[in-house]
C-alpha cells in the first residue's frame, strides 16, 4: 500500500525515470484520470489486446484485470528512460521469466497492523473488498524471496530515496559497464 505515492514521488524527482500507465478493467476511483493513473478499459478491449500480444505482462488482481503495454516499455527504453513498473507479484514473475532485464524491488509495509490500517483507511471499497485486499497483500508476501531488494515503506520520501539509491547502485554494477570500462582501459595504451 502507498506504492503508488512512492512511485509518483520517485518519478517527480527523477527526470530519467518514467512510470508506465497500466491498463485496467476496474472502475476509476475518485480523482483518478484516464490515461494518467490508468487506461481504463472494458474486459472486451482488454482481452482483444491480450490476444494481439500487446502485453508485456498481465494479471487478475481482486477480480480486475491489469496489464503493462509492451510497446510503451519498448518506446521508453529506446528513449533511454529508466522504466518503473508498479505491478503485482504475478506480473513480476512473468517479466522475470522473460528476456526483459529488470531489478525487482518489494515495497513492504512497516508492519501487519499498519498494512491492515492502511487498507481499512482507504474506505473507498466495501468491507469484503478491503478484506480481500489485505488477504492478497498477505499472500503476496510469500513471493518476497524472489525479489532483489526489499524496501520498508514507513515514510514516503525515505522509501523513495532508498529506491533511488538502489537504481543508482544498479547502474554502477561492473557487469553493466563492461563496454565503458574496456574503452576506458584501452586508452591507457597511448601513454
Give dist(CA 102, CA 10) in Å, integer: 17
- With respect to ligand 5GP, which residue has the nearer C-beta, 57 or 162? 57
Q: Are 75 and 145 in contact (CB under 8 A)?
A: no
Cβ atoms within 10 A of the Cβ of 44, count?
A: 9
- With respect to ligand 5GP, which residue has the nearer C-beta, 68 or 153? 68
Kindly state the smallest distance separating residue 94's Cβ from ligand 5GP, in Å.
8
- With respect to ligand 5GP, which residue has the nearer C-beta, 74 or 184? 74
Residue choice 6, 7, 84, 87 for contact with ligand 5GP (CB under 6 A): 87
Give dist(CA 26, CA 60) in Å, integer: 10
Burial class (CB in 10 A: 0-12, 13-18, 19+), 36: exposed
**65 touches ligand 5GP by CB under 6 A:** no
Closest CA to 85 of 59, 64, 103, 108: 103
Cβ atoms within 10 A of the Cβ of 61, count?
A: 18
Burial class (CB in 10 A: 0-12, 13-18, 19+), 82: middle
**84 touches ligand 5GP by CB under 6 A:** no
Number of residues located near ligand 5GP, criterion CB under 6 A: 14
Contact window for ligand 5GP (CB under 6 A) among 61-69, 144-152, 159-167, 171-179: 61-69
**72 touches ligand 5GP by CB under 6 A:** no
Residue 59 host element (H or E): strand 55-61
Kindly state the smallest distance separating residue 173's Cβ from ligand 5GP, in Å.
26
Place of cell 524491488: 105
Closest residue to ligand 5GP, judged by C-beta, is 91
Q: What is the DSSP letter of 28?
A: P
**6 touches ligand 5GP by CB under 6 A:** no
Contact window for ligand 5GP (CB under 6 A) among 6-14, 70-78, 87-95, 145-153: 87-95
Residue choice 6, 61, 107, 119 for contact with ligand 5GP (CB under 6 A): 61
User: Site residues (CB under 6 A) for ligand 5GP?
Assistant: 3, 22, 26, 57, 59, 61, 66-68, 86-88, 90-91
Amino acid at each position: 500500500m502507498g506504492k503508488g505515492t512512492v512511485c509518483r514521488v520517485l518519478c517527480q524527482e527523477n527526470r530519467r525515470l518514467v512510470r508506465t500507465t497500466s491498463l485496467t478493467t476496474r472502475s476509476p476511483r475518485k480523482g483518478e484520470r484516464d490515461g494518467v493513473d490508468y487506461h481504463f478499459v472494458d474486459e472486451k478491449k482488454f482481452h482483444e489486446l491480450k490476444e494481439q500480444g500487446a502485453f508485456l505482462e498481465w494479471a487478475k488482481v481482486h477480480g480486475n484485470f491489469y496489464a503493462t503495454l509492451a510497446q510503451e516499455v519498448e518506446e521508453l527504453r529506446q528513449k533511454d528512460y529508466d522504466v518503473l513498473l508498479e505491478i503485482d507479484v504475478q506480473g513480476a514473475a512473468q517479466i522475470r521469466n522473460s528476456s526483459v532485464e529488470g531489478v525487482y524491488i518489494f515495497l513492504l509495509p512497516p508492519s501487519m497492523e499498519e498494512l491492515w490500517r492502511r487498507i481499512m483507511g482507504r474506505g473507498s471499497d466495501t468491507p469484503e473488498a478491503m478484506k480481500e485486499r489485505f488477504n492478497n497483500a498477505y499472500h503476496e508476501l510469500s513471493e518476497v524471496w524472489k525479489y532483489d531488494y526489499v524496501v520498508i515503506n514507513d515514510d514516503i520520501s525515505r522509501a523513495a530515496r532508498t529506491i533511488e539509491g538502489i537504481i543508482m547502485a544498479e547502474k554502477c554494477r561492473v557487469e553493466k559497464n563492461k563496454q565503458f570500462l574496456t574503452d576506458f582501459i584501452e586508452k591507457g595504451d597511448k601513454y
